[in-house]
Amino acid sequence: MLAGKPGVTRCAGISFLWGTRTYVVGIVNVSPDSFSGDGLSDVDMAVSRAVLMAEEGADIIDVGGESTRPGSLPISAEEEISRVVPVLEKISKKISLPLSVDTYKPEVAQRALDAGASMINDIWGLKRDSRLAELAAQRGVPIVLMSNQRDVSPHHDVVFPDVMSVVIQDLRKSIEKALSKGIPRGNIIIDPGPGFGKTPQQNLEVLRRLEELKELNLPVLLGTSRKSYIGYVLGLPEEERLEGTAAAVAIGISRGVDLVRVHDVKEMVRLCKMADAIVRG
């Protein structure tokens, strides 16, 4: 039986009080082939984007060096380190927000933590390398565990009989692995993984059924910004999906998510404040 939802998670000296408001995670991509068209290869431009996001009200900055777009090729740990570490080193000297590294490679995560990161965001939910869990436990940092169906549906074309059951079962396995490696329950955040190995209709179903994640009793991060299923519904390219993203974020907040991971920080901070005023009172 899973214990109750942690009331607070500490990260870089900051307390995240779950249930009080929605926290905003700003995305800084240093992968030139980012799916969303916002990838940067220039360190100073990436740092400037992070500083702007901090000014716009972001609570966490998430830095990633490997593209997660469908069909993208993996890069070596060395290449990923060369992209994210210089950015993290510079950002950490300019802003005091917690910094997250978006990686599933323990070698990258270790170097990122040394460079100023204080959170790990694993899109594979520890499926790829359990050493990542050992590192998070040793360093005492929060970790985001995402449900990713690309291992069974790399082309996003497998129709699961009950996609939410698949997501919850997947997350349970990730949570159990994290706990078995010594990660405190209060340092675990879950992500249902819309856009990863699910059809457009299944992604929409996950959004409709987010409340079912409450049975896992952990804070929930929703990463829905500019995703392809928004383009599927609206028939719009990545750079024109702001309104679709806003709708998905608002629905997510109404269904109990605790953090939203977004590209457009200023607009989503305002949306979160309004949605929280309605939903949380």
User: What are the E-state strand segments in 210-281?
Assistant: 221-222, 259-262
Domain assignment present for residue 267? The answer is: yes
Interval 11-31 mean pLDDT: 96
Domain assignment present for residue 77? The answer is: yes
Full-model pTM? 0.95
Q: Number of structural domains, the chain?
A: 1
Q: Which domain holds residue 155?
A: 21-279
Catalytic residue check, 128: no
Residue 40: the pLDDT is: 66
Residue 36: the pLDDT is: 44
- The answer to whether residue 41 scores a pLDDT higher than 90 is no
- The domain that contains 203 carries what CATH number? 3.20.20.20
Residue from 261, 266, 270, 273 carrying the catalytic annotation? 261
Domain assignment present for residue 2? The answer is: no
Domain assignment present for residue 97? The answer is: yes
Domain assignment present for residue 38? The answer is: yes
Buried b (16+ CB within 10 A) or exposed e, 223-238: bbbbbbbbbebeeeeb
Domain assignment present for residue 116? The answer is: yes
- The answer to whether residue 1 scores a pLDDT higher than 50 is no
Interval 204-208 mean pLDDT: 98
Q: What angle do CA 6, 91, 226 make, to 5 degrees?
A: 65
Interval 129-139 mean pLDDT: 97
Residue from 49, 198, 227, 255 carrying the catalytic annotation? 227
In the structure encoding, which two tokens stand for residue 276, read together?
A: 């929280």
Catalytic residue check, 227: yes
